[in-house]
Amino acid sequence: MTRKPISETRVQAMIASDPDAPEATEADLARAVPFTEAFPALAEKMRRNIGGRPKAEHPKVAVSLRLDPEVVSRFKAGGPGWQTRMNEALRRAAGLG
């Protein structure tokens, strides 16, 4: 599906209609500071990924693999999760599941 571009006039009207997100003024930009200075503790936590996604006990291994297009199409036809389904099929074929 191709979307029709929004005109600049429409974009400006949308900005003006939202009182919670006004366009930044020159004065606003002059007072701006980097995120790491405004929120140093949060920036450090994000940098260290503390509280982020836990590390997998058995992380997946990225590989480059050439497969027949029909095989990939068949798995993709099942929708999201096709890579997981392909992994499960390979596990069964390898006698692991």
Q: Structure tokens of 67? A: 């497969």
What was the pLDDT predicted at 52? 65
Helices 82-93 and 69-77: crossing angle in degrees, nearest 10, is 120
What was the pLDDT predicted at 47? 83
Q: Structure tokens of 41? A: 């503790």
What was the pLDDT predicted at 34? 96
Q: Do residues 63 and 54 make contact, with C-beta atoms less than 8 angstroms apart? A: no
What was the pLDDT predicted at 97? 81
Q: What is the pLDDT along the chain (97 residues), one digit of tens a residue?
A: 678 889 999 988 988 898 888 888 999 999 999 999 999 999 988 888 766 677 888 899 999 999 999 999 999 999 999 999 999 999 999 999 8
**Residue located via tokens 């029909």:** 70
Q: What share of the chain is helix, strand, coil (3-state, %, to 5)?
A: 50, 0, 50
The H-or-E segment that residue 17 falls in is none
What was the pLDDT predicted at 83? 95
Residues 6+ apart with CB under 8 A from 62: none
Q: How far, in Å, CA of 35 to CA of 65, rounded?
A: 41
